Amino acid sequence: MPTSPLQRGVWFNEQVAALGPAYTVAVTADLRGPLDVGRLARACTALATRHPLLTAGCHNLDGLPWLAVDEHPLTLTVEPVTDGTLRGRVERATRTRFDLSAGPLARVWWFAPAHDRGVLVLAAHHLIVDGRSKDVLLRDLADCYGHDAPATAAHPAGPDGPTDPGEPTDPGDHGEPAGPGAHQPSEDLVVAAAEYWWRNPPRPVELPRDGGARPGDRVVRTLTPRTRTLLATAAVALAATRFELLLTVLTCCLAPADGPTSIALELSTRTPAEAGRIGMYVNELPFTLPTPPAGPYAAALATVRTGLRQLYAHRTVPLAMCRPGTRPFLATAAVSVSYRRIAPGPVFPGLTTTVDWSPFNGVARNALHVMIADGEQTRVTFQFPASTGARRRAGTLIDHVLAGLDRSLAAPESPVVRPSQEPPPWT
């Protein structure tokens, strides 16, 4: 199958830089109860039947990547562990580096320190999955485990998409696809996007010259029930999405005082027809932040919302197609943001399931990556390069952001929250 322009950017990065597990996408499920390992192994085989991309290999043909399915069976790896070694082994699995030239591009592990409990790890290369793919895969794996029968190809597999976040979920017309699920933007969309970027040029950013990955660290916070209630109420009162409400506070806290800057937003390119597929349905685009206004939060929200909705019209077109000479990077700006609505967790019959939808792969993709996972709980994660004192500074910054979120949602007409006085972790 041919690859999309977005996938080719990911593939190109892998050819020119030592990225380690930077493009590894993983999900883990803590399963409690009497799990049948043989049944789980058969479920993995059935899962690959539903989603053939899990069996794909990647080939360099005349300087372009192509995907070929049925090259690597999806098998379950069962490894003995103890309570003392479980955490480290799960962490290593979620940080697996996938070799595109050798394959496979997806793997599944079962680590069980006891007969009635264990951890399931599913990891794959970003070339064939995105954030929403994890929901699809874990849900379908649980379904295959429950039925324990060979599955038909219920969901046509398309090779498009890493990560997911961004709103709205339906980006509109994509033009004719270049292959099964591989979005190739139409000429009209590319022309319109080129005109948009000519009028709204991305601000220069400082990125590593080698485009490589660095060892990373992270801090995680969970929104309180009170904040989640405020978020739901404000979304109705201000006619805004939850993403817009959260992004406005982030921009006010992160934007420099000396002028506008750009952050990178990971935007979903899925259409409703692709809701049940796995693939790389995401495009990261820079979003130029205005200088934080001195007025109320509601006014800042209106500015951010207008800018976002203008950007959404061009979400399916890679930046490099509009600005010749733009080189692919792990991130298109020093600070990036992703947002994903999390569906209810899968149901494995007879088992209690606890899912970690965003295990850390140990890599810093840029100066700061903000991940927002919004479901039964709302978790905000800051990922950044590891260094002395960075974790403490990042903790101070994320607490400042969440305190500002509470104040802004409770009183939208109050002045916007200002940047933290504490130096951010990337300095």
Domain boundaries, the chain: 5-410
For the chain, the distance separating the N- and C-terminal CA atoms, rounded to the nearest angstrom, is 43
Q: What is the pTM of this model?
A: 0.88
Q: What pLDDT is stored for residue 365 in this prediction?
A: 84
Q: What pLDDT is stored for residue 314 in this prediction?
A: 94
Letter string b/e over residues 332-369, b meaning 16 or more CB atoms within 10 A of that residue's CB: bbbbbbbbbbbeebbebeebebebbbbbbbbbbbbbbb
For CA atoms 45, 351, 119, 357, the dihedral sign is positive
Distance CA 163, CA 340 (A): 9
Q: What pLDDT is stored for residue 271 in this prediction?
A: 87
Distance CA 12, CA 10 (A): 5
Confidence of residue 144 (pLDDT cuts 50, 70, 90): very high
Q: Hunting for tokens 């030592």 — which residue is that? A: 18
Confidence of residue 18 (pLDDT cuts 50, 70, 90): confident
Distance CA 169, CA 186 (A): 19
Task: Give φ, ψ of 289 to 5 degrees.
Answer: -85, 140
Q: Token pair for residue 356?
A: 């970690």
The helix/strand/coil state of 328 is coil
What are 15-19's contacts with CB under 8 Å, separation 24+?
16/211, 17/210, 17/211, 17/212, 17/213, 18/212, 18/213, 19/212, 19/213, 19/330, 19/363
Q: What percent of the chain has pLDDT over 90?
A: 60
Confidence of residue 360 (pLDDT cuts 50, 70, 90): very high
The CATH classification number of 5-410 equals 3.30.559.10
**pLDDT (tens digit, 9 = 90+) per residue, 160-197?**
333 334 443 333 333 323 334 456 788 999 999 999 99
